[in-house]
Structure 1
């Protein structure tokens, strides 16, 4: 495999050889072997052993193979299950910074590219990042990172909710960018909920320690300990930290959602991304509060529970479910 890997790195591998390499790299142990050969190849570059036009060929090949690898990997993982667990390995990104070593040139000569993984409504995705860290991406969420990840940085941008099982690297902390808040870790297990429509960013720490950092001042708001939940207000930057049962906030990885004292407007958002169903509702009921657990229940069962808890009724309008005040129930309450 050494010869094929060197041909790939030099840009001289055929399409069939690239396909063979892509298939081989899907196994984690093979990517470790690939990395060792990559280092050997780099040493050769430092000694001036570089083919004519090699740098131009490498830049061209990097972009081409990144897209081809992504497309092939995605196609091979399509499924009709309600929860789609996608293990995505962008091996081209893990070797992307090899160009940095060409003729002593700096990384500013490499064009930055971004990889984004999206869990559509009604889906959960499981992702392995180039450094071996695992990420569970909840429905309606997106995570992004650039082609320098695991080489020069471990920075990811998150919109939505994700659970992280971070590979340890004392020299390169992993940083989760939630716009209003950065979460910085070395190696740990934690959950971040940073949906754009929510008023706060939620961080729940299962193992290890994490730092909550002000993205503007670069100062630390707080250092969390295992078993804690931090709620960061987007409006005034207020931070509240308390001890919790972490499983209540991470059970969504197994398909369970815990609704705890949440207003109807937030519950509806959860239902929309869980069931891929559009809702509308009257403003007068948006603050009705709910506490219940969703596991394998159908949407109509959840709506029935909401109608029992509060004086609301659901009406199907084409593809949209409308939630309205139930006047008859309200009259009974007022008696």
Structure 2
């Protein structure tokens, strides 16, 4: 990248963290983030610097963009400046990226440096959304539609505990001494550093934990069980029964990319997913579709009508789409 392109990217990043980037600048930042995983860390650091300036000094806030970029460069290359900002930037920066049909919207949360209180925060991915969340310890979370994540604004040495309602995929930063705990009701997943998916929608009456990489421990009452990559634990909430078996984890994590793969899945379950992903209400008889199972792929970026046409090829149906309300019956 030449100097001119670097300068333009730096300005785009600055406008982005200030919240006033235009579409072209947002696209440049997204491209820059995808070029190197280290760029995410750089973005967090620059956001922390800007937040610190907002909290600490009106004079810093009034700097022109070129002056701010120059100051930021001096801070990053100066041991003295880094020391000065060390206390100032003890902020729990959390980035939430909402993935929707339009552009990406960003939300930044920071704690007050003066009080440094640890508060509980909640992020919700409403129907029709998939969100990315970066927690204070660097843990990366994808939150599926119709899901809610509650977490502390900062993690203490003895506490890395969050709660989940719905579905999420986690990439947890490693810490043997400080395990990461995900609670779903009376069910807990204990993590020391790994990649895994948890699905806990109440209507499913089960909690599925699928391990992609690393190691997790399933804890439920007096039940303790370690999972290994490629394994899935299914906890049935009504009976407290736990089943563990090998699964193709790609099927259970593809939703992060806006793709849901299902093999011999009940039509009822597919309709539930469609309701969450397209934010619609599907009126159908669970009893009528009780014995209907299909295989296929849902793609979030495609019209829901197209998916009903495909379902009709597998299970003959009559359906009527009226805005956000859809009526479906077997032929």
Q: Same fold (TM over 0.5)?
A: yes
Does structure 1 residue 294 correspond to structure 2 residue 318? Answer: no
In 1, are the aligned partners of 2:230 and 2:246 still within 8 Å (CA)? yes
Q: CA deviation at 1:264?
A: 2.4
In 2, are the aligned partners of 1:312 and 1:324 still within 8 Å (CA)? yes
In 2, are the aligned partners of 1:126 and 1:137 still within 8 Å (CA)? yes
Matches within 5 A, 1:1-335: 13-15=56-58, 17=60, 81-82=100-101, 89-92=108-111, 113-214=119-220, 217=221, 219-287=222-290, 288-295=292-299, 296-317=301-322, 319-326=324-331
Segments of structure 1 that go 5 or more residues without pairing to the other structure are 43-61, 100-109, 327-335
Query: RMSD in angstroms over aligned alpha carbons?
Result: 3.9
- Using the TM superposition, name which of 81-90 and 302-311 deviates more: 81-90
* Cα separation, partners in 2 of 1:305 and 1:285, compared to 1, 3 Å: farther
* Cα separation, partners in 2 of 1:304 and 1:272, compared to 1, 3 Å: same
Secondary structure, aligned partner of 1:265? helix
* Cα separation, partners in 2 of 1:315 and 1:78, compared to 1, 3 Å: closer
Give the aligned length.
272
* Cα separation, partners in 2 of 1:176 and 1:85, compared to 1, 3 Å: farther
* Cα separation, partners in 2 of 1:235 and 1:275, compared to 1, 3 Å: same
TM-score by length of 2: 0.69
Q: Deviations over 1:219-276 (max 9, x none)?
A: 4431100111111101111111111211111111111101223222221110011112
In 2, are the aligned partners of 1:212 and 1:221 still within 8 Å (CA)? yes
* Cα separation, partners in 2 of 1:87 and 1:249, compared to 1, 3 Å: farther
- Using the TM superposition, name which of 83-92 and 176-185 deviates more: 83-92
Higher strand share: 2
Q: Deviations over 1:130-166 (max 9, x none)?
A: 0011011111211111234254411111111111010
